Structure 1
Amino acid sequence: MRHGKARFVTGFLALPVLLFAFYVVWPFAQAVGYSFTNWGGYSNKQDFVGVDNYVKLFQDELVHKAFWHNVFFLVTVPLFTIALALFFAFLLNVGGRGDKAGIRGVFGSSVYKVIFFFPQVLSLVLIAVMWQQIYRSDDQGLLNGLLIKLGLIDADKPNLFVADPTPILGIPAVLWWLLLIAVWSGVGFYMVLFSAAMQGIPKDIYEAALLDGAGRVSTFVRITLPLLRDNISVAWVYLGITALDMFALVYVMTPSQGGPDHASEIFASVIQFTAFNRGQFGYACALGVALAIFTMLIAALQLRITRRERIEF
């Protein structure tokens, strides 16, 4: 029976594993191989250069700038997205008035869930194109037009938004505007994720806390957050991976796909520029491998830090 079961399972898994190995593992292995060459991408000439590409990326000023921009997103995107998602989820599930029916969410919570989740049905490129019109750096842009109508800015001096490299708190302004889009597009999904987790928490716990005189803030901090720790940990890992990408937003929305003056460069945009503009595919593969390793290390570190015994309720 055991051998028969093993053959049955192997029969179902063989084809998916082969497809995964061919379309995922093998291309990644090829990229690792190319990263040790000076391949130009448009010819078969490949000279082995050893670890020269990896030494070069540690000395490349553009890579350094892109790395710190990615670190900015790695810190801010999960932080703001999770904070807002938790806040909205708490309001929609246990933020309303308590009555004979027990603790409930705010009035119309089901409608709010649909509204907040709506960006998830749109592709990231479509979101980028939509926000490109909102951020237009002339009086035809939605934000600039609104600010001009309100008399807050002059019509001949519109805001540049994603074309503005001026530092704000030491960070180029363009990165703050891209951060707003990333948070707006992601908060709805994680709000629904946390809402589902909150609905699994017995309402008796909240009602007992309120009867003991606990306020909404203390209830959120002492009950909700500890019981959602596993969900928050998973969300942080996924958002961290998203923050280390950000390529679609940068490519569609910023001038010269990483501008102005490299103010919005990230690892992914440097890889694209290095491969297709400079024709240095070997070096671009080294950058891609370095980004993949960094992403896996960040994910493993996050899971290790947040690991603990599961709370049963």
Structure 2
Amino acid sequence: MQHGKYRFVVGFLAAPLTLYAVFVIWPFIQAVYYSFTDWTGLSPDFKMVGFANYQRMFEDEIFWKSLQHSVLFVVLLPLVTLSLALFFAFMINVGGRARKGAAVTGVRGSGFYKVAYFFPQVLSIAIVAVLFQFAYNPRDGALNSALSAIGLDGFQPSWLGDPDYALWAIMAVLVWSTVGFFVVLFSAGMASIPKDFYEAALLDGAGRITTFFRITLPLLWDTVQSGWIYMGILALGAEAFAVVHIMSVGPGGPDYSTSILPLYIYQSAFRDANAAYATTIGVALLVITLCFAAVVMRLGRRERLEY
């Protein structure tokens, strides 16, 4: 009987594990292999060069600039995005004043706010990037026009054309485009928390800030931790690449002030025809992503709360 059970389990898992190995594990192994070659990506001919690509990477100033910007993305984007999402979700669900028949409720118009916050998720990230590219236009863009309308004519930077502002302008777009998803995610989590917890706390004299840190955040911690990892991978992956590639000058400029690792991988492979060096940077990005996930899981580990 036990033998038949194990045979069934193995047979059931064989197909998905095989597909995972072929389409996920094997490409990782190939990337590591090609990082030790001089493959251009255009020719089937290449030779082994050992650690030459890794030595070049460690001596590459553009790589270190891109790494610095990617680390900035992976630290600040989750922090800002999740903090805003938690605040908005808390106000929408339990941040309102007591009303007749309900001691715990969201602010007035919370249904509208949910739709408004989630609206950017309906748009493609490419469309969002193009729209904000127009908004950041230094001549007739919406942002500088608004600054001029309130009397700040002396402060009208070129935004995407200014190395001091370009990276921050792009990060603001990523926050705007992703915060709505986490508002909905955290709202769903808060809706599952029994209202009795909040009502008991309010009867004991606890304020909204206390209930947030003593009830909401501890009970949502697993969701917040997962969101932090997801947001970090997004900041190191395709979504950040798309926004930087569309919005930045160059792309990656001016003066590599907006270059990030995914963009540098793309440029090395398709602009410079050096696929081997691109896979070397890709291996470094994989290691950084795994380290980020491990650090978040380790620092965020705490006793699971049941309710």
Q: Tell me, yes or no, whether TM beats 0.5.
A: yes
1:197-208 to 2 correspondences below 5 Å: 197-208=189-200
Deviation, 1:84, is 0.5
SS of the aligned residue for 1:106 comes to coil
Give the corresponding residue for 2:160.
Answer: 162
1:184-195 to 2 correspondences below 5 Å: 184-195=176-187
1:280-299 to 2 correspondences below 5 Å: 280-299=274-293
Deviation, 1:15, is 3.8
SS of the aligned residue for 1:98 comes to coil
Q: Which segments of 5 or more consecutive residues in structure 2 lack a partner in the other structure?
A: none
Name which of structure 1's ranges 98-107 and 293-302 shifts more when overlaid on structure 2.
98-107
Question: Which deviations, in whole Å up to 9, do the C-alpha atoms of 1:247-292 show, x marking residues without a partner?
Answer: 1111000011100010101111111121222222111101001101
Give the corresponding residue for 2:136.
Answer: 135
The TM-score, its normalising length taken from structure 1, stands at 0.91
What's the C-alpha RMSD, in Å, of the aligned pairs?
Answer: 1.8
Give the distance between the partners of 1:204 and 1:149, measured in 2 at CA.
48
Give the corresponding residue for 2:46.
Answer: 46
Deviation, 1:122, is 1.7
Deviation, 1:181, is 0.8
Give the corresponding residue for 1:70.
Answer: 70
Give the corresponding residue for 1:236.
Answer: 228
Give the distance between the partners of 2:276 and 2:44, measured in 1 at CA.
12
SS of the aligned residue for 2:267 comes to helix
Give the corresponding residue for 1:17.
Answer: 17
Give the distance between the partners of 1:88 and 1:6, measured in 2 at CA.
48
Give the conservation status (yes or no) of the 8 Å contact 1:136–1:160. Answer: yes
Give the conservation status (yes or no) of the 8 Å contact 1:138–1:159. Answer: no
Give the conservation status (yes or no) of the 8 Å contact 1:41–1:279. Answer: yes
Identity, in percent, stands at 51
Give the corresponding residue for 1:256.
Answer: 250
Give the corresponding residue for 1:102.
Answer: 103
Give the corresponding residue for 2:300.
Answer: 306
Question: Which deviations, in whole Å up to 9, do the C-alpha atoms of 1:79-98 show, x marking residues without a partner?
Answer: 11111001001101111112
Deviation, 1:151, is 3.9
1:106-121 to 2 correspondences below 5 Å: 106-121=107-122
Give the corresponding residue for 2:124.
Answer: 123
SS of the aligned residue for 2:16 comes to helix
Aligned with 1:271 (options 256, 265, 269): 265
Name which of structure 1's ranges 255-264 and 115-124 shifts more when overlaid on structure 2.
115-124
Deviation, 1:192, is 1.1
Q: Which segments of 5 or more consecutive residues in structure 1 lack a partner in the other structure?
A: 167-172
Give the distance between the partners of 1:122 and 1:26, measured in 2 at CA.
33
AA partner of residue 160 (structure 1): S
Name which of structure 1's ranges 22-31 and 102-111 shifts more when overlaid on structure 2.
22-31
Change (3 A) 1:216 1:165: same
The TM-score, its normalising length taken from structure 2, stands at 0.93
Name which of structure 1's ranges 207-216 and 11-20 shifts more when overlaid on structure 2.
11-20
Give the distance between the partners of 1:205 and 1:273, measured in 2 at CA.
53
AA partner of residue 289 (structure 1): V
Give the distance between the partners of 1:133 and 1:216, measured in 2 at CA.
40
1:215-234 to 2 correspondences below 5 Å: 215-234=207-226
Give the distance between the partners of 1:5 and 1:112, measured in 2 at CA.
51
Name which of structure 1's ranges 198-207 and 93-102 shifts more when overlaid on structure 2.
93-102
Give the distance between the partners of 2:205 and 2:150, measured in 1 at CA.
46
Give the distance between the partners of 1:78 and 1:29, measured in 2 at CA.
30
Give the distance between the partners of 2:29 and 2:109, measured in 1 at CA.
51
Name which of structure 1's ranges 10-19 and 245-254 shifts more when overlaid on structure 2.
10-19
Deviation, 1:215, is 1.0
Give the distance between the partners of 1:77 and 1:265, measured in 2 at CA.
16
Name which of structure 1's ranges 248-257 and 142-151 shifts more when overlaid on structure 2.
142-151
Question: Which deviations, in whole Å up to 9, do the C-alpha atoms of 1:219-245 show, x marking residues without a partner?
Answer: 112221122111111111111111223
Deviation, 1:75, is 1.3
Give the conservation status (yes or no) of the 8 Å contact 1:138–1:158. Answer: no
Give the distance between the partners of 1:308 and 1:185, measured in 2 at CA.
30
